[in-house]
Amino acid sequence: MKNIDLLIDARWVAPVEPDDRVLDHHSVAVDKGQIVAVLPTERAHQRYRAEQHRTLPHHLLTPGFINAHGHAAMSLFRGLADDLPLMTWLEEHIWPAEGQWVSDEFVADGVKLAMAEMLRSGTTCFSDMYFFPDVVAREARRIGMRAAVGLILIDFPTVWAENADEYLRKGLEIHDHYRYDHLISTFFAPHAPYTVSDEPLSKVRTLADELHIPIQMHVHETSAEVQNAVESSGKRPLQRLDELGLLSPNFMAVHMTDLTETEIQQLAQTNSHVVHCPESNMKLASGHCPVQSLLNADINVALGTDGAASNNDLDMIGEMRSAALLAKLADAHSDASATAVDAHTALAMATINGAKALGIDQQTGSLTAGKDADITAIDLNHLATQPIYDPVSQLVYAASRDQVSDVWVQGQAQLESGRLSHFNTTHLIETADNWRARIQSFSNDDHETP
């Protein structure tokens, strides 16, 4: 028998690759942080002797969920300005709050709150686009969570940088620091077409090509954004980005709620990726991304929660359900279809598709021998998920994040039987409430009548 670090026996395993099959009574063998085999449990017990052995008789094992777009520190703004249109929400509430409160301390506390929430709900990797990306990378590395850290770029000065050159200089320093890190990856993160001008975008394209790292950007988030761009420049934003050379296999377009058939083909021809944030789009009434039409064109579509200030949670199980249900409604490119974005497709969007978009699919995204052991276990032995005909359907359409029992990142337990391994939840709640008191007190003072 071969000695290994960890053997997980499960009722079902959904490896995601190479196909949609669900393996019955299978085990995942892990050694030195990597998956060494996925095989029937009886054979696993004959082949391996594990230092740690977990038996999960009512559980589904999946790859750890990958939250492909978000703003983790904004968890401290959760509920601050609800039920408002996007630009009102941004310009009158979020941007002023950020101007007042965002700091390295704010980001550190916010990202810890976000990581705890994400791990508790099965997410093993998150993509972050926010200020102080060095702090985000540091905190993720400290507790051993996988993170793709956005090197933010925006035309106007903020607490993080004064101009495009400083944004890029600081971003490159972070990239160099984590260049060989196995948990932290980087991507360029120009905010949006309406906040970043042509010259910085051209620099980003050149640097991304040289360094072989992705670019992620909010694009076509609303029809108003597209209309304003046409009125000011005569071009739709995607056309402008294509002319600047950004559309490529390294480009991730987030949101994409306003698309023409020509633009869908443009994305397909350039092998660009789309990151869909269904719950944030619905809450802000931003529009409806035509996901099934994108998938029909062989475009890789990943899932993200966006920030907790506009969602208001970081729950990828909920995001899968919303993506599947929303896609079944009619959109501008197809008739309503109950077959759109089935449960297995939704799981792929939340796992391997996110890994492909972020350029880390050789490391994570599926339960495949040779990949890192990023694994999520969901206990389906609950009233709400009985009876079980298809465990993946029950995960997507019936399960809740409270049924996530165990999470491993690189084979290290981050959640064990529902308990976080590296966080004091009482302290996190107290810290979040302290920030609420400070922010709310300032907001109340700011709106008092003289």
pLDDT recorded at residue 441: 82
Average pLDDT over residues 139-159: 97
Pick among 3.40.50.10860, 3.20.20.140, 3.40.630.30, 3.40.50.300: CATH of 65-358: 3.20.20.140
- Backbone Cα Rg of the chain: 21
- What are the sequence ranges of the domains in the chain? 2-63+368-417, 65-358
Q: Other CB atoms closer than 10 Å to residue 357's CB: what's the count? A: 34
- pLDDT at position 296: 96
Query: Residue 293 — pLDDT band, cuts 50, 70, 90?
Result: very high
Buried b / exposed e over 370-383, threshold 16 CB at 10 Å, is ebbbbbbbbbbeee
Q: For the whole prediction, is pTM greater than 0.85? A: yes
Write down the pLDDT at residue 446. 52
Tens digit of each residue's pLDDT (9 = 90 or more) over 39-95? 999 999 999 999 999 999 999 999 999 999 999 999 999 999 899 888 898 899 998
d(Cα 149, Cα 128) in Å, to the nearest integer?
5
Find the mean pLDDT for residues 301-320.
Answer: 97
Scanning 178-255, the segments in alpha helix (DSSP H) are 198-211, 223-233, 237-243
What is the topology classification, in CATH, of domain 2-63+368-417? Answer: Urease, subunit C; domain 1 (2.30.40)
The confidence score (pLDDT) of residue 331 equals 64
Amino acid 448: pLDDT: 43
Residue 383 pLDDT > 70: yes
Instruction: Reply yes or no on whether the pLDDT at 272 is more than 90.
Output: yes
What digits encode the pLDDT tens for the residues 200-255? 999 999 999 999 999 999 999 999 999 999 999 999 999 999 999 999 999 999 99
Helical spans, DSSP H, in 328-372: 343-349, 352-358
